[in-house]
Structure 1
Amino acid sequence: MTLPADQIYEIAVIGGGVNGCGIARDAAGRGAQVLLLEAGDLAGGTSSASTKLIHGGLRYLEHYEFALVREALSEREQLWGIAPHIIWPLRFVLPHAKGLRPRWLLRLGLFIYDHIGGRKRLPTAESIDLSRHPAGGPLKPEFAQGFVYSDCWVDDARLVVLNARDAADRGAAIRTHCPVERLERHGDLWHLDTPDGPFRARAVVNAAGPRVLDVLGRAHEQAEYGMRLVRGSHIVVPKLFDHEFAYFFQLPDGRIFFAIPYEQDFTLIGTTDRDHTGGEPRASEEEIAYLCEGASLYFRNRVVPADVVWTYSGVRPLLDDHSGKPEAATRGYRFDLSEAEEGAPILTVFGGKITTYRHLAQEAVELLAERLPVLKGEGWTATATLPGGDFPREEADDLLALIADRYPFLEPLWASRLARCYGTLTTEILGDAASLAECGAHFGHGLTEAEVRFLMRREWARSAEDVLWRRTKLGLRFSAAEQDQLRAFIAGRPAD
């Protein structure tokens, strides 16, 4: 899509991660003319490399981050309400390990966790006997007692894309693969040079995540806060258990990690916390071994690096609060808004976590509203559903049944994936198809031409990697030959 050369946007958002897309959505919904510029693909960095949880952060209580935990927990059920197709409740089992945190401390932490954030619908924590509980079966027999508590799972990359889609539906212009090459203030306007041409905006939001300082440098602005880049790595292995519970494990070094049911046939294990000094984030052999050894402390069946079918790593752009260990660095966020006398404002976002993105976006827009009167409207994103999420959260299973009934040619795994990716938009993708053949080419594992065309037309997918690793996670199942077939199809069809 070609944008008008003389267009002046109220806001140019730099960064297509969860914070940038959340800010673009909020501002567009208040009537602002918004331009979002992303150097690569949406959610191409940190926002698709999380542990995929909407949670308060139980371990942050140990660091006395009560305000952060309260904010995150208050967001947890709101996000579940606006995106029940990609966010759903999950019960976590926390085994008691002798010699580590005492039972009374775990019980106290879970009590605070249940009551600090306004929990309404999620079940409370409780003690369990792991010798009788289904989650105890895969564990070593020495883990006989524990607790179970509630949090939520999220498809992180889809959360980003759906925020961008909703922003676009409300008038925002979304430009992917469009890095900002030059950023200059000229009085009351910012001039941004990109491969797609020059743009002008009355304000800039710097939501570039790990690259916020680079953007500030291009704008000739000084950073008010320091950044600490921390790499979190995850491994995926064939599923280690058949039940629907996740695990929250403690390690002897004081750290914690999760083992989570993933894409029906796998288990996701993570995360690590290592200071990142640059380059493409990748899980090191040391990190992979660390996660395997940690899992092997708890599970009866030993986990070894040869079991790993996929790894992914992301760089968390954390505020540098001069913590000693990376895992102790705050997951909170701060804003830096340029002074009024400097001309056109630039708002920089430092830090943040996926659970608090919506509240962060609302705060950012309200802060900008002091300089941009067009943003004076009320906050609205807490109750407005994201695309495909317009059904009651308690009826997710009913939606799946409806999809399976309407499209009986779908295998159960395929129908479940579509329901959890697209919710009510599944019918927009498949239309009146009465057979798999009517969905066009079948690339494998339920991915059809109809879905790929939708992702290219409506969700800015440009490559097989965009489709297989961010819009879906079918890369876990696709063979090399199947990937090549998909690449050839996309290469031969420009996005609509």
Structure 2
Amino acid sequence: MSGCSFLFDLLRSDWLNQPRHPGWSPEVSSVDALVVGGGINGAGIARDLAGRGLSVLLCEKDDLAQHTSSASTKLIHGGLRYLEYYEFSLVRKALAEREVLLKSAPHIMRPMRFVMPHDPGMRPVWMIRAGLFLYDHLARREVLAGSNTVKLHEHPSGAPLKPGFTRGFEYSDGWVDDARLVVLNAIDAATHGAEVLTRWRCIDAQRGDTHWRATLRNEVTGDQRVVSARSLVNAAGPWTGQFLAEHAHVRDPKSLRLVKGSHIVVPKLFDHDYAYIFQNTDRRIIFAIPYEGEFTLIGTTDVEHDGAVGEARIDAGETQYLCEQASRYFARAITPADVVWSYSGVRPLLDDDSGDPSAVTRDYLLDLDTAQAPLMSVWGGKITTFRKLAEEAADRLAPSLGAKRGAWTRHAYLPGGDLGPWIGAAQRPDTDIQRFTQALAARHPDVDPTLIRRLARNYGARADLLLKNGLGPLVVPGLHEAELRYLHQHEWARSADDVLWRRTKLGLHLDAAQRAAVAQWCESNWEPMAAQTAGAGKARSEMTWN
């Protein structure tokens, strides 16, 4: 059935004549690909497909990155511990992607050195050295330095540790602002012509021979839209199986293992820039990472999740576990009373029958069904390999849609990442952002240097979009009206939580009264979208602060 006949049959059917919600519109959008899910995989696939000249619509029932994709450990890493599970292909793929990503967005990513204190009662020295040798050589490195052994009493990382730890191992990985990574992919998708809809749920998808007919509902107003799509991409993360069964009416024997990962944030435990990887008595590992200047991020747990996907919360046992394991290494004991913030996310891991949640593969599977109109389902995955996942998905899906362009993202900058017009030729991601920050400060000498550094790290070259007409009145310390308006107009921010916990992490630096002041400003100034601040309550259910 041709696209024209599909639309003609739809328009003449009784379906369109049924009574509808007062806000319902009979307009039918026609696109090459409808992407369901606004996490890192959905945003990455939408970006890649749009950049190949295809028409794309991305819908997300909540905010971009509201769930799993903002609840990671914030690492771009190969996954050193995956080597113990013989996941060599996954580790090699992730290691190769580290530098691709670091170069694409030096403002939201940076190289980071990790130190593993050696515990003689855990893995032997030879095993760690062998693992680090593989880590250094499984993929080519241009930016990241190799590993080495350190004497902790002579190394800055040794100072906060218990004196019994004398030897350590140092290696490289990367840090990323995970929620901003999702937003930048969505911005780039929109720049290439995609339509991005947040707070729109796909409530029904009917499959035909050549097209899907999907019904989208605005979660705030109740309005509905109908979309005719030549293909459907199911990137719903933890909801992948549920979406197939309940909304796309497709049966699939595959299943996801839903594993909750929780993190705690405490006042900073050390003054240097190194991160730690600690071996636990249960043979798992946790990280302790410098975070937001004033804090240390500790995580993560691996706990089977049996509750509602969108309602994952850290429990007392997880908090105690993270405190106890970190306290085995730090000279200063960490207790639950030290926790100032925590967050939890549900990882959608492809079920491989592993008994231990920590052993479940972090690799992904792309399932393309072309029996009728194409259906691509994304199972599993991790932030580090999102770009490669999106490229592979587009490589498989785009030919049947008549894409005008092939793979293109490997050497492309994410929005704000091209600092060349400011600093000239790129050198290293970490030094490039420093040079850019200096250039931005020189162009705006009247702006506080601390704010300049934050804006440079958050927005990169796009910082000029919110600075060019002045910052406007101060709403709360460190946050001006110009930034709030920019986030609303250019980054789909619709609530205070969108701003404070995903687009920025300013919520950590503000007290309850100041967070409430931001919420009040958004409600008063984002009309007629003020009703969408109702989503703030959902976001808080996944994050807690003390």
TM category (shorter chain) comes to over 0.9
Name the residue aligned to 1:321: 352
Task: Return the alpha-carbon distance in structure 2 between the equivalents of residues 407 and 474 of structure 1.
Answer: 22
Structure 1 residue 477 displacement after superposition? 1.3
| Residues 414 and 445 in structure 1, CA contact (< 8 A), matched pair in contact too | no
| Residues 233 and 270 in structure 1, CA contact (< 8 A), matched pair in contact too | yes
Q: How does 1:123-142 map to 2 (within 5 A)?
A: 123-142=145-164
- Is 1:202 the counterpart of 2:230? The answer is yes
| Residues 25 and 225 in structure 2, CA contact (< 8 A), matched pair in contact too | no
Question: Which digits, 9 at most, give the CA deviation of each residue in 1:131-184, with x for residues without a partner?
Answer: 110100000011110111000000000000000001001100000000111111
Equivalent of 2:115, from 93, 109, 113? Answer: 93
- Is 1:462 the counterpart of 2:491? The answer is no
| Residues 368 and 377 in structure 2, CA contact (< 8 A), matched pair in contact too | yes
Equivalent of 1:473, from 493, 500, 505? Answer: 505
Q: How does 1:258-277 map to 2 (within 5 A)?
A: 258-277=287-306
Task: Return the alpha-carbon distance in structure 2 between the equivalents of residues 402 and 303 of structure 1.
Answer: 40
- Is 1:330 the counterpart of 2:358? The answer is no
Q: 1:159 to 1:132 in 2, by over 3 A?
A: same
Q: 1:197 to 1:267 in 2, by over 3 A?
A: same
Name the residue aligned to 1:286: 317
- Is 1:484 the counterpart of 2:516? The answer is yes
| Residues 224 and 336 in structure 1, CA contact (< 8 A), matched pair in contact too | no
| Residues 24 and 172 in structure 1, CA contact (< 8 A), matched pair in contact too | yes
SS at match of 2:154: coil
Q: How does 1:216-235 map to 2 (within 5 A)?
A: 216-217=244-245, 218-235=247-264
Letter in 2 for 1:183: A
Task: Return the alpha-carbon distance in structure 2 between the equivalents of residues 442 and 432 of structure 1.
Answer: 14
Equivalent of 1:244, from 260, 270, 273? Answer: 273
- Is 1:428 the counterpart of 2:460? The answer is no
Letter in 2 for 1:206: N
Q: 1:113 to 1:4 in 2, by over 3 A?
A: farther
Task: Return the alpha-carbon distance in structure 2 between the equivalents of residues 215 and 445 of structure 1.
Answer: 42
Q: 1:289 to 1:411 in 2, by over 3 A?
A: farther
Task: Return the alpha-carbon distance in structure 1 between the equivalents of residues 442 and 511 of structure 2.
Answer: 29
Letter in 1 for 2:479: L
- Is 1:378 the counterpart of 2:406? The answer is yes
| Residues 71 and 343 in structure 2, CA contact (< 8 A), matched pair in contact too | yes
- Is 1:446 the counterpart of 2:478? The answer is yes
| Residues 104 and 414 in structure 2, CA contact (< 8 A), matched pair in contact too | yes
Question: Which digits, 9 at most, give the CA deviation of each residue in 1:422-443, with x for residues without a partner?
Answer: 011111111153xxxxx22212
- Is 1:211 the counterpart of 2:225? The answer is no
Letter in 2 for 1:81: K
Name the residue aligned to 1:436: none
Letter in 1 for 2:437: L
Question: Which digits, 9 at most, give the CA deviation of each residue in 1:59-80, with x for residues without a partner?
Answer: 0000000000000010000000
Give the stretch that moved more between structures: 154-163 or 476-485: 476-485
Task: Return the alpha-carbon distance in structure 2 between the equivalents of residues 479 and 99 of structure 1.
Answer: 43
Q: How does 1:15-94 map to 2 (within 5 A)?
A: 15-94=37-116
Structure 1 residue 3 displacement after superposition? 10
Letter in 2 for 1:471: R
Name the residue aligned to 1:350: 379
SS at match of 2:64: coil
Structure 1 residue 411 displacement after superposition? 3.5
Task: Return the alpha-carbon distance in structure 1 between the equivalents of residues 406 and 316 of structure 2.
Answer: 49
Letter in 1 for 2:450: L
**Aligned-pair Cα RMSD in Å:** 1.5
- Is 1:121 the counterpart of 2:152? The answer is no
Give the stretch that moved more between structures: 275-284 or 155-164: 275-284
Letter in 2 for 1:332: D
- Is 1:418 the counterpart of 2:455? The answer is yes
SS at match of 2:202: coil
- Is 1:305 the counterpart of 2:327? The answer is no
Give TM-score scaled by structure 2 length. 0.87
Structure 1 residue 444 displacement after superposition? 2.2
Task: Return the alpha-carbon distance in structure 1 between the equivalents of residues 167 and 26 of structure 2.
Answer: 64
Task: Return the alpha-carbon distance in structure 2 between the equivalents of residues 353 and 224 of structure 1.
Answer: 22
SS at match of 2:200: coil
Task: Return the alpha-carbon distance in structure 1 between the equivalents of residues 29 and 160 of structure 2.
Answer: 60
Q: Number of residues paired by the alignment?
A: 487
Give the stretch that moved more between structures: 307-316 or 392-401: 392-401
| Residues 49 and 398 in structure 2, CA contact (< 8 A), matched pair in contact too | no
- Is 1:144 the counterpart of 2:144? The answer is no
Give the stretch that moved more between structures: 441-450 or 95-104: 441-450
SS at match of 1:343: coil
Letter in 2 for 1:226: S
Task: Return the alpha-carbon distance in structure 2 between the equivalents of residues 258 and 3 of structure 1.
Answer: 49
Task: Return the alpha-carbon distance in structure 1 between the equivalents of residues 159 and 184 of structure 2.
Answer: 38
SS at match of 2:120: coil
Name the residue aligned to 2:443: 406
Structure 1 residue 9 displacement after superposition? 0.3
| Residues 9 and 34 in structure 1, CA contact (< 8 A), matched pair in contact too | yes
Give the stretch that moved more between structures: 252-261 or 485-494: 485-494
* Structure 2: unaligned runs, 5 residues or longer: 1-23, 218-223, 420-425, 530-546
- Is 1:14 the counterpart of 2:36? The answer is yes
Task: Return the alpha-carbon distance in structure 1 between the equivalents of residues 328 and 29 of structure 2.
Answer: 59
| Residues 15 and 38 in structure 1, CA contact (< 8 A), matched pair in contact too | yes
| Residues 113 and 172 in structure 2, CA contact (< 8 A), matched pair in contact too | yes
Name the residue aligned to 1:388: 416
Name the residue aligned to 2:175: 153
Task: Return the alpha-carbon distance in structure 1 between the equivalents of residues 314 and 453 of structure 2.
Answer: 30
Task: Return the alpha-carbon distance in structure 1 between the equivalents of residues 26 and 193 of structure 2.
Answer: 14
Give the stretch that moved more between structures: 258-267 or 390-399: 390-399
SS at match of 2:188: helix
Letter in 1 for 2:397: L
